[in-house]
Amino acid sequence: QLQLQESGPGLVKPSETLSLTCTVSGGSMNSRDYYWGWIRQPPGKGLEWIGSIYYSGTTYYNPSLNSRVTISVDTSKNQFSLKLSSVIAADTAVYYCVRRPYGVPPGGWGQGTLVTVSS
């Protein structure tokens, strides 16, 4: 059974880089069938797609964050990662990692991890 688990610091200072890792279990990441991505949700607000990566390393980012976002994958460890640079208070959110089957909206979600940007 597929499981995704986010990990990383829960508190990041303004102007620093937010770094999160998603560990995938119950399935291989080295598959043409899936994209791996990140979605976030500020407290009390709606959902925002951050970006996705294909097993080949091809990435797709939300233009609203494009210059600050990097998503990478390490299929040997069954992990993928998110880096968001120059964070501000508005980046405070629950961050979810997701698996998106090709041609279908995301189906597998991690439980989410709250990241607070504060000094």
Among 17, 8, 7, which Cα is nearest to 91's?
17
Query: What is the C-alpha to C-alpha distance for residues 21 and 114, in angstroms, rounded to an integer?
Result: 13
Total count of residues recorded for the chain = 119
Of residues 37 and 81, the one with the C-beta less far from other proteins: 37
User: What string marks each residue from 5 to 34 as x (binds other proteins by CB under 8 A) or -?
Assistant: ------------------------------
Of residues 79 and 106, the one with the C-beta less far from other proteins: 106
Give least dist CB 47 to other proteins, A: 5
Q: Restricting to residues 94-113, which ones interact with other proteins according to CB under 8 A?
A: 96, 100, 103-107, 109-112
N- to C-terminal Cα separation, the chain? 39
One residue of 16, 27, 49, 70 binding other proteins per CB under 8 A: 49
Query: What is the C-alpha to C-alpha distance for residues 89 and 109, in angstroms, rounded to an integer?
Result: 24
Query: What is the C-alpha to C-alpha distance for residues 115 and 7, in angstroms, rounded to an integer?
Result: 10
One residue of 1, 46, 76, 119 binding other proteins per CB under 8 A: 46
Give least dist CB 81 to other proteins, A: 19
Query: What is the C-alpha to C-alpha distance for residues 52 and 74, in angstroms, rounded to an integer?
Result: 14
**Contact residues: other proteins, CB under 8 A:** 46-49, 52, 60-64, 96, 100, 103-107, 109-112
